[in-house]
Structure 1
Amino acid sequence: MNINFVEEVTKRKEAIMKDLVGLIQINSELTTFDPNRKHAPFGEGIDEALTYMLNIGKRDGFSTLNADHYAGHIEYGQQDEYVGMVGHLDVVPAGSGWSYPPYGAVVADGKMYGRGTEDDKGPTLAAYYAMKILKDLQVPLSKRIKLVLGTDEETAWRCVNYYFKHYPEQPVAGFIPDSEFPLTYGEKGILKVVVKGKNEPSKLVRFDSGLRDNMVPDHALAIVSDKDLKEKFEAFLSKHKYSGKVSEEGANLVLEIDGKSAHGSTPDEGVNAAYLMVHFFNEVGITNAFIDAINTYLLDDTKGVKIGVDYLDKEMGPVTVNAGVFKLENNQFEIILNPRYPNGVDPESFIKRFETAFSSLGLKVELGKHQRLLYVDPKSAMIQTLMEAYKKYSKDYEAKPLTTGGGTFARAMKNSVAFGPHFPNKPSYIHQKDEYIILDDFFMSIAIYADALYQLAK
């Protein structure tokens, strides 16, 4: 059966845009997690986004399921075997400094701006419309198609853990629209490491930097009890051409400095604002256990050299360590790390090294979620099918499948890999201000996904 999927997407552009605007305009940042809040365990905004997508599915005649507001799915067909997709509707905090409102869904210069346009509301809607095109055309298929809707990808994956616990059936093939084209067959292992400690009283009264462990902090705030530092901080900002400011708060000074955010999988692409502030402390001689821990094991080190976990795999790249959250108040502090490891690293030894390093300073180390490494044979039939769909529309005939330091829901569902939607050699503002999706690329991704689903499910 010969289907012109580009033409089918073009016919639906107006409807697609209307649905996309409505989805992006929902603020679906995590508020709090409360399992006793039955109608919205991750907060009202996230549940609004889930309801929005499920209602679109109902509107278009699909079978839908709400998994107790933790997740949901939209499904086409009743065959025993299925081809699966998993997207997510939660987003990281918008942060500040946007050129357009982060939940405005503003279209300018062929792009739509907004938190979630590329990670991952836009791609989730692209996967939905790919499935819808097949349903509209009543294409004969031998397998069901199911789009699972996650709501907690950016934090702890409680959504998919809950979903697959209660609906454990696994696909014969599947993809996750939350990465890059042409395709990602290997994903680094990801940890969450929380370092906690106590300070003796010092000039540093409070420190606050970072929103999530998987984001490079783009702002740091410190309150110090020494007003004589005002001119020194201003000179520090001027000397290094950093953006920041200083103000007075009673007997204290409030110091603020800006860095550059980036995804936690690529911390070297950002500028960690907390580290910039610590460089100032080092210049003026402010020290305590919190600053010592940063200097000893973290400062300006995105590869884990100081901790002793650095390693480079030729296929998957290096170990990375993002220090994403720094909190100090009432002489108690917490630093949250986001380390990632490639093939060739023993996970247990890797984890132990973090525990050994920080405990040597008398600090407590707590381990959060551990997403183990994903690796699928790049020569498998499923990957060859997906690669051919990408090449057919992109004309990128020399494309090779990729590995990444990022983590996707491909780890949550068997027989799956990450597949688009970001095209090669294009800038990305995922987890940064001014996140956008290029609309021509967005529409092309729908055609690619539709063809891929057809090939996998026919």
Structure 2
Amino acid sequence: MNINFVEEVTKRKEAILKDLTELIQINSELTTFDPNRKHAPFGEGIDEALTFMLNLGKRDGFNTLNADHYAGHIEYGNQDAYVGMVGHLDVVPAGSGWSYPPYGAVIADGKMYGRGTEDDKGPTLAAYYAMKILKDLGLPLSKRIKLILGTDEETAWRCVNYYFKHYPEQPVAGFIPDSEFPLTYGEKGILKVVVKGKIEPSTLVRFDAGLRDNMVPDHALAVVSDLNLKASFEAFLKSKGLVGKATESKEGLILEVDGKSAHGSTPDEGVNAAYLMVHFFNSVSINNAFIDAINTYLLDDTKGVKIGVDYLDKEMGPVTVNAGVFKLEQNQFEITLNPRYPNGVDPERFIKRFETAFESLGLKVELGKHQRLLYVDPKSEMIQILMDTYKKYSNDVDAVPLTTGGGTFARTMKNSVAFGPHFPNKPSYIHQKDEYIIMDDFFMSIAIYADALYRLAK
């Protein structure tokens, strides 16, 4: 059966745009996690986004399920086997410096700006409309199609852990609309490592940089007790061409410097503001256990060379180490790291090396979540179907499947890979200010997803 899915998307553009706008306008940043807050364990905004999507499903005649406000699903069909998709509705903090309101869903120059436009509310809605088109057309399918809605992807994945604990069935094939085209068959393993320690009272009173471990800090703030450092800091900023300021306050001299944010999987693409501040400390001989830890094992090193975990896999790329959050107050400090490792790295030895390194400085190391790496045979039938579908719409006939340092919900389901929506050789601003999605690409991704679902489920 020959179906023009691009034409089917075009017929629905007005409705799609209305739903996309309303979804992006919901601020779905994590507030606090409270399992006793039964109606909204991750906060009201995230639950509002989940409710919005489930209401779309009800409106359009799908079967829907709310998994105790941790997650949900929208489902088409009642066959035993199913094709699965997982999107997420939570977003990283918007941060500052946007050209348009981060929850305004403003369209300018063919782009919609807003937190979550590309990661991952926009793509989740694209997957939904792909499924809706198949339902509207009444196409004969041999498998169910299920879109699972996550709400905690950017932090601890408690949403999908809860969902699959209660609804453990696995798909015969699936994809995650939260990466890039053509598709991603390999994802690095990801750790969360928290380094804790204390300092003796010193010139450095307070330090604060970073919002999440999977983001490069774009702003650092330090409070020092020596007011005479103002001129030195201002000279440092000028000599390095940096944006920042020094302000006297009752607390002390407040120093601020801006870097450049980037995704935690590609820390070398950002400029870590915490490291910029430490370079200033080094220039004026401010030191303590906190600064020493950064200098010894982290400063300007995104590959883990100083810690001794550097490794390069020809297929999946290098080990990366993002230092994402720095906190020091009342002489106690924490540094939260986001290391990622490719094939060829022994996870247990990798973890042990972090422990050994920082413990050698008398610091405490706590391990958070560990997402083991994902690898699906790029020659499998499912991947061939997805690749063929992408090539059909993109005319990118030489495209080859990819690996990534990013982590997606593909790890939560068997027989699944990350598939779009970002097109090759286009800029991406996920986890950065001015995140946007190109509208033509967004609508094309819906056609690709619809065709792919049809091929996998017919």
**TM-score, normalised to structure 2's length?**
1.00
2: distance between equivalents of 1:56 and 1:64? Answer: 10
1:397: which partner in 2? 397
Mapping 1:434-445, distance limit 5 Å: 434-445=434-445
AA matched with 1:433: K
Q: Does 1:214 find its partner at 2:230?
A: no
2: distance between equivalents of 1:44 and 1:263? Answer: 26
1:34: which partner in 2? 34
1:366: which partner in 2? 366
Q: CA deviation at 1:452?
A: 0.2
AA matched with 2:406: G
Residues 226-258 of structure 1 show CA distances to partners (whole Å, capped at 9, x for unaligned) of 000000000000001100011011261000000
2: distance between equivalents of 1:409 and 1:394? Answer: 25
2: distance between equivalents of 1:456 and 1:443? Answer: 20
1:159: which partner in 2? 159
2: distance between equivalents of 1:20 and 1:248? Answer: 45
1:126: which partner in 2? 126
2: distance between equivalents of 1:190 and 1:162? Answer: 20
2:298: which partner in 1? 298
Q: Partner of 2:427: helix, strand, or coil?
A: coil
Q: 1:227 touches 1:251 (CA, 8 Å); kept in 2?
A: no
- The RMSD of aligned alpha carbons is 0.4
Q: 2:81 touches 2:171 (CA, 8 Å); kept in 1?
A: yes
2: distance between equivalents of 1:355 and 1:277? Answer: 25
2:17: which partner in 1? 17
Q: 2:325 touches 2:336 (CA, 8 Å); kept in 1?
A: yes
1:308: which partner in 2? 308
Mapping 1:32-431, distance limit 5 Å: 32-250=32-250, 252-431=252-431
Residues 113-171 of structure 1 show CA distances to partners (whole Å, capped at 9, x for unaligned) of 00000000000000000000000000000000000000000000000000000000000
AA matched with 1:272: N
AA matched with 2:290: F
AA matched with 1:396: D
1: distance between equivalents of 2:113 and 2:228? Answer: 43
Q: Partner of 1:451: helix, strand, or coil?
A: helix
Residues 383-414 of structure 1 show CA distances to partners (whole Å, capped at 9, x for unaligned) of 00000000000000000000000000000111
2: distance between equivalents of 1:83 and 1:148? Answer: 11
2: distance between equivalents of 1:209 and 1:276? Answer: 11
Give 5+ residue unaligned stretches, structure 2: none
Q: 1:216 touches 1:267 (CA, 8 Å); kept in 2?
A: yes
AA matched with 1:82: Y
2: distance between equivalents of 1:380 and 1:70? Answer: 32
2: distance between equivalents of 1:198 and 1:270? Answer: 28
AA matched with 2:374: L
Q: Which runs of 4 or more aligned residues in structure 1 lie more than 3 Å from their structure 2 counterparts after TM superposition?
A: none
Q: 1:127 touches 1:446 (CA, 8 Å); kept in 2?
A: yes
Q: Percent identity?
A: 89
Q: CA deviation at 1:22?
A: 0.2
Q: 1:258 touches 1:273 (CA, 8 Å); kept in 2?
A: yes
Q: Partner of 2:336: helix, strand, or coil?
A: strand
AA matched with 2:41: P
1: distance between equivalents of 2:246 and 2:26? Answer: 35
**TM-score, normalised to structure 1's length?**
1.00
Q: CA deviation at 1:184?
A: 0.1
2: distance between equivalents of 1:221 and 1:65? Answer: 44
Q: 2:223 touches 2:251 (CA, 8 Å); kept in 1?
A: no
Q: CA deviation at 1:52?
A: 0.2
Q: How many residues align?
A: 458
